[in-house]
């Protein structure tokens, strides 16, 4: 049986005629080293085929080269896109990603954070249920940089990136109103979720601004999952004064709603127009293609990782940044003119 010898850092030092500490400084880019010495060390590394041991390197730099990502759930296209953006940026920066789920439970979130302590250089945290600034101060690992992917509220101690959910909801609702719809329903997100609360508020604000009153019977519960969207679609189809349009607080629920409406024999958009939120990859490939509030999901994940790495590598306390990402509206085939606009459209055709 043949074994392959892996050269050690001591052999590199001996070959280059320097100390182990000098080899470490060259490989980690830390401390002053003469250019001639640096070249000798790199030549020795190349000729011997030396590969630095990750654990040894982390001891010398006091970094693990790992970042933690804590999500409410790891199921679903939205979270997959967030992780994809983080992973692409992490690979470019030389970091590994440890992903875990909190299942939107604060007690479980606390346990996961304790398990990650000492194993990560930084953390990206998405919507920790009803977490507030005090909970974050008590629970996040001390001296570990963190970027929050939700509204930080009164927390000024951590960087954050969030979506302008109210603006997105206003865009979606205005779009349906401009098409002539007046009986508009909304499928809400889970209670206690700040994104869901902001989208519901934006929906109600827009109706009020256009002189319409929100109807509680047209605000259906949801949990951001397809099944809850399907159940909401069934209930909406059975209403006596059935809505002519539906705004779902995310695309997954819009997809479930679409399936329920079809099962009840309703056509989208001829009978009911439908708008989602997020623009997950499958949205444009549905039949009909889904009109939705477009959010650069993967880009947000990448930005969070880049910001986190910048803080880790600076090693300094810097002024915290709280970025807000403005969504856009992607108008596709799932929305069409409502009853209020159709007579006018027919009159124009007759002329």
Question: What percentage of the chain exceeds 90 in pLDDT?
Answer: 55
Separation of alpha carbons 106 and 110, rounded Å: 6
Say which residues have a Cβ less than 8 Å from residue 242's Cβ, sequence separation at least 6. Answer: 183, 236, 272
Separation of alpha carbons 108 and 93, rounded Å: 29
* Per-residue CA distances from 39 to 33, 46, 47 (Å): 10, 10, 12
Write out the CATH class of domain 66-162+297-325. alpha beta
Enter the tokens of residue 279. Answer: 């623009």
So where are the chain's domains?
9-61, 66-162+297-325, 165-296+330-340
* Per-residue CA distances from 193 to 100, 222, 223 (Å): 19, 11, 9
* The two domains 9-61 and 66-162+297-325 share their CATH topology (first three levels equal): no
Q: Which CATH architecture has domain 165-296+330-340?
A: 3-Layer(aba) Sandwich (3.40)
Say which residues have a Cβ less than 8 Å from residue 23's Cβ, sequence separation at least 6. Answer: 9, 12, 13, 16, 41
Enter the tokens of residue 4. Answer: 């392959």
Q: Is the pLDDT of residue 164 over 90?
A: yes
CATH of 9-61, one of 3.10.180.10, 1.10.260.40, 3.40.47.10, 3.40.190.10: 1.10.260.40
| pLDDT computed for residue 109 by the predictor | 78
| pLDDT computed for residue 203 by the predictor | 98
Least confidently predicted of 114-118, 164-168, 331-335: 114-118
pTM above threshold 0.85 = no
Run of H or E residues at 275: strand 273-278
Q: What are phi and psi of 186, to 5 degrees?
A: -130, 135
Separation of alpha carbons 254 and 288, rounded Å: 12
- Over residues 175-205, the pLDDT tens digits come to 999 999 999 999 999 988 889 999 999 999 9
Separation of alpha carbons 173 and 178, rounded Å: 9
* Per-residue CA distances from 78 to 74, 200, 288 (Å): 9, 19, 20
Q: Is the pLDDT of residue 222 over 90?
A: yes
* Per-residue CA distances from 266 to 225, 237, 257, 269, 274 (Å): 21, 8, 11, 9, 12
| pLDDT computed for residue 1 by the predictor | 44
């Amino acid at each position: 049986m043949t074994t392959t010898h892996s050269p050690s850092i001591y052999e590199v030092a001996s070959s280059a005629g320097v100390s182990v500490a000098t080899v470490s400084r060259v490989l980690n880019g830390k401390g002053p080293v003469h250019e001639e010495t640096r070249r000798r060390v790199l030549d020795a590394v190349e000729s011997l085929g030396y590969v630095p041991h990750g654990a040894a390197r982390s001891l010398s730099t006091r970094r693990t080269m790992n970042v933690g990502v804590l999500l409410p759930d790891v199921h679903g296209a939205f979270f997959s896109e967030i992780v994809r953006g983080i992973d692409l940026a992490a690979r470019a920066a030389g970091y590994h990603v440890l992903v875990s789920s909190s299942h939107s439970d604060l007690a479980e979130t606390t346990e996961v954070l304790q398990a990650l302590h000492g194993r990560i250089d930084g953390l990206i945290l998405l919507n920790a249920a009803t977490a507030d600034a005090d909970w974050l101060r008590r629970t996040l690992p001390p001296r570990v940089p963190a970027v929050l992917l939700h509204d930080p509220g009164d927390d000024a101690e951590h960087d954050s990136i969030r979506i302008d959910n109210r603006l997105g909801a206003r865009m979606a609702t205005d779009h349906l109103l401009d098409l002539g719809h007046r009986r508009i329903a909304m499928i809400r997100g889970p209670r206690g979720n700040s994104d869901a609360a902001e989208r519901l508020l934006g929906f109600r604000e827009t109706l009020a601004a256009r002189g319409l009153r929100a109807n509680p019977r047209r605000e259906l519960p949801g949990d951001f999952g397809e099944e809850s969207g399907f159940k909401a679609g069934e209930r909406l189809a059975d209403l006596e004064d059935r809505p002519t349009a539906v705004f779902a607080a995310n695309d997954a629920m819009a997809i479930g709603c679409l399936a329920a409406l079809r099962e009840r024999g309703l056509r989208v958009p001829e009978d009911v127009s439908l708008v989602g939120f997020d623009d997950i990859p499958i949205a444009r490939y549905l039949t009909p293609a889904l009109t939705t509030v477009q959010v650069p999901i993967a880009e947000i994940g990448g930005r969070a990782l880049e910001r986190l790495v910048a803080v880790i590598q600076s090693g300094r306390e810097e002024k915290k940044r709280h970025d807000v990402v403005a969504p856009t509206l992607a108008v596709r085939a799932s929305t069409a003119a409502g009853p209020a606009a159709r007579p006018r459209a027919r009159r124009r055709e007759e002329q």
